[in-house]
Structures are given as structure tokens and as C-alpha cells.
Amino acid sequence: MSSRIKAALLGAAIIALTAGCASKPKSQKVLVAPVSISGYTGPAYHGGKLVNNSDEIKAVAANLQGVVYFDFDSDTIRASAAQTLNAQADFLKANSGARVLIAGHTDERGSREYNISLGERRAAAVRAYLAAQGVNPSHIEIVSFGEERPVAVGTGEANWSQNRRAELSY
């Protein structure tokens, strides 16, 4: 009988010791955009760095389409965005001093942390597309605002689809 008790105690001790050995999930860096710059009219802002372009570059860039839209929960660039992004790439290659800020946005669905991450992936996808077209990646900054800056307020696909975007600004 005592060997059964010893075996039970040994089993309980092993279970107790191994229960605390679970691995911790890896922490990830999440880029959080400052929310205190709404209405800011100076140079494009990126985490303490300014993307500062001449007035001439800003004036010419103002004529370019600067918004790329995404499908739900996706960072894949649509084929319909190629014309917009190719024009942006041509502009950046022709103006080697220009710097662009790409801000990723999401709709309100999902947690704040997930949406910050998704917005960053969207901005990074646009950066990768521009770099593949020959734009110097060091001239491109990215930031994610997640769901914090909707252009359309309200629920429903009509509003959500307008908020799933990446905006290019100079």
C-alpha cells in the first residue's frame, strides 16, 4: 500500500513541477501612432521624425492619388491599386529628394492591438510595392493608426471599406 501512495505522490509532484514549465509567448513590438496630432498641418509626422519636403514637392504630390484600399483583414495590395502606386513610384523616382509617409488604417473590427499591427502590415506592403518599383526604401517611412482615424464613421461595409486603407503623404 505504501508503494501506491509513493507512486501517487511522485506523480502529483511531477505534474506540479511540469505545469509551471509552459513557455511564455514571445512579445512583439507594436507601433502605436500618436493620437495627439489631429489637425496637425506641418510636415508629415512619424514617431518623432518629420518627413519634411519642399513646398514644390508637396504641391506636385498633391495632384497624385494618395489612398490605397484593402479587403477585410488583408494586407494584400489589390490589382486596382497598381495605377495609383505606379504613379507614386514614378514621382518618387523623379524627385529623389522627396520623402513619403505611408499611414496604415483599419476599420473598427478587431482589437486595438490587432488593428495597429494590421495597419502596419498594410503600410509595409505599400512600402514593399514602391521599393519593388525602384523607389529608395530609405525615403519611405511607415506608421500605423489602426482604427484610430476613420474617414467614415458608422457600421456597415460601406463605411468599413473606406477605413481599410493606406494613405501616402508628403
Domain ranges of the chain: 29-169
Task: Say if residues 43 and 53 touch (Cβ distance below 8 Å).
Answer: yes
To the question of pTM greater than 0.75 for the whole model, the response is: no
- Distance between CA atoms of residues 166 and 152, nearest Å: 14
CATH topology for 29-169 is 60s Ribosomal Protein L30; Chain: A; (3.30.1330)
d(CA 126, CA 122): 6
Q: Which amino acid is at 52?
A: N
Please write the tens of the pLDDT for every residue from 145-170. Answer: 999 999 999 899 999 999 999 999 98
**Distance (Å) of CA 27 to CA 4, 30, 119:** 43, 9, 18
Read off the pLDDT of residues 39-62 as tens digits, 9 standing for 90 and up.
444 445 444 444 677 777 877 777
